Structure 1
């Protein structure tokens, strides 16, 4: 019996020894370290005043009361990359890894915004889901991905892999595929380590720790991993939080459903093109087109919020009109309504025209009120976001996250502006309680997508 036991022990010891000699495959990936293990060189804190320290080759973020979300941001900006890191989080905290994020003076007074790879130790377990910080909210929660939810290890180190290549974002948690998102809102920004704000009831001094932060920016196709998940595509679709807040798509991205010609019962047969999720008015020489013409929503709207992305070509002119009346008995020309101007200010002569100086420049209330001259306009060929808010006759124009003008419909000041403009011949111009939304055909090629609206219910 003793001989058998000794033999078994010898066999077990030999197997252990041989197993120990087997080395794991060497990682030949040319990773670049983002954290030197000793200091916060190459990083800058933005937002709140949570504390960040370096301890045991790791970055430690610690919660503080009465301060907003804090972010330790990389000084370098990154577009396409593969990022890996490890973290350990206190079970009471919420946190995240910001990617392709920015802090811009015109956007919410510099608030950090952009994609966040969630760190969520709560029972919800959405760690490695994708959230849009300070913008659209949840884009790819992992609600239906139970395998990824179970992969999170409470009170232990967790490993993330994050791929951002073109419009494709993919995440893994502890080697388990978690999120897969197709979204082209932002293509470049910093990486940041978030310490979330806490309520008065929560204990301060709780930690989240990050280490082994490394990135790859070259030859990404060679190192990118396939994900078995079905991607969530945000183009011409609502995010989870947008839908909860009452937003609805005003264009489905594929058909002309819900739209018609401003002077037609159906959508124009020529002059407009629907392709690859983009709605484009075709060029006809820079004059208001007789071939296609303006298009309007079939529905009418009272108080509303409207958001859409638009892209102009060089020298282009177009517009978004609201509270539009399409009564053909009111004379020829474009349908009448208030207009959010779309224009290439640098190349189109209208930028120097108008009843009031600058009132025909981009994002202005056409011919009435000039938009802020410091507005953040992206050049021809790049996408911009227009946002119009109208509630209780108070109207705001926004461009790329910045409020560029506001006014009061039906006020004495507004009526004075109208009386001095080309609109004076239309009684009570722009004062309808409801109207159509219109996209203008001014004869230049301009594209639209992600057209969404939220009706505002008066309290």
Structure 2
């Protein structure tokens, strides 16, 4: 068995922009998971005392010790709001929602007369029962829209339980906002925009619907942790607390700190803080009239002309790269923000607000409320000085209206850089164990919402389900229409590629319907395999095998994309016979096995369903495939499985008792690889978690 050690480069680079790193490995937190404070009820179980309604006209009433919100037609989003504001807190509650509705939990929210005529706006923990599965993500209602979707958090997307009571937890301390769904970590957001506001229960507008779908909330309780406040580092009068280095001039006039320097000055003038700072969130309001400046942090004074060594958040009069992260006397540019993002956020010649959050290895920068950098850094300094820069060799004119630090009443969570897994992909002594046999040809393993594994025996037209808790396998469905690939989606529906029936079916509870049957009026060939993306859509392959279900109608064998609204579009026909399909952890690469060409091809995902830059990924045949959290691709080929790094290098081979057809991760920590192989169903434990 060839199974190399898990080299660090297969997991994490020394730095990587967020939120991908949160998908690869969860952050460990130094702070307590439950800050010390007493729980207080927000709902007394019998009345709406302490609450007031804003926005639309949905009805709220108390029924069976729960607040029940009922949607009504022709009204906007409705909000049942607490009468008082909360700053830092831990909130827990339970809710149950109609599967066709959308709702949310507002927090640190406001309704101001001078903002959109009193429209409720602020953070919202999403309740999303659709197959997109973004329950637990954070939406900025009435302002910026999605600021923490769950595109790259598959475990959280599957945590929501349809038609059941679900448990939510929100922890907001300073600029740290974290959420949990039924105990599963979901959002880990850093955002300092709003530090206090009311809590509200949202019922989303439903257009003209008149059937009155409901959302219920109960057991609503809060730990009030006080209020975070901004404290000035610049007193608006003089340079107390700051020391200038040679180069340029600093002075204070009318409460504004002004720095100037002629182009003839070669030294980088630095206004250096007298104190070191380690974990902090800083807010700087600046106006740059000419030249290149920056806000240094965790920096160390040096003798070189640049004056400091360390990170700086970019300040530039033209706005170019504003809010990016540059490491002076180090790695140079570490995060360069997208030009269109900066163009939208930056205000030329005007006052701009930049926030810099540095807690442990996580560095986050916002420019006028737009996130321009989010980095988990393994090598940078963790402590050092602040510095305001006047770039040498340029005509410099930059002003600072305020420089502040955010002080929290409760300890703010501080992340640690996650440990890199070590050892071989397959642990020493690990071997396949047979879970079931006596089948004709097994295929399509898929992990269900409860951790059970579904798989098909295609010739026998049966879908089986394996229960890891009992070790038992049972028949789940007969007469499957030649079902092959299976896909459980958030919300609890099962999609199946029924090759003989030439459809993709959808099972919702006891009801089975045809999800996809035709493309541009022509029947599909024989759908084979499918993979869910982070937007609630899925890709499926449609080769032609045998004479499935009558005459062929489509000229080509292709890969299709079905969005959350069930609209089908052609993703690519640049394949001969597409079979297995998979997505990389960052959702940026789609892999397709072409069994006719005996090769694996890869495409860049430009946007959902839009592919570009087809290329050969691996010169290997495969049927099904799976991906681990490091982005390694597991191919079912020949006598066993082969493992390929994201760079297209074969890094391991795993012999299998029978020739494998497909594989799926599951089990404790998602570290068990389940394999369908001819007449058997097998499993082997690995050292690395797989993608859900």
| TM-score of the two chains, using structure 1 as the length reference | 0.48
- Larger % of helix: which? 1
| TM-score of the two chains, using structure 2 as the length reference | 0.33
RCO comparison, higher one (Cα < 8 Å, 6+): 1
- Larger % of strand: which? 2
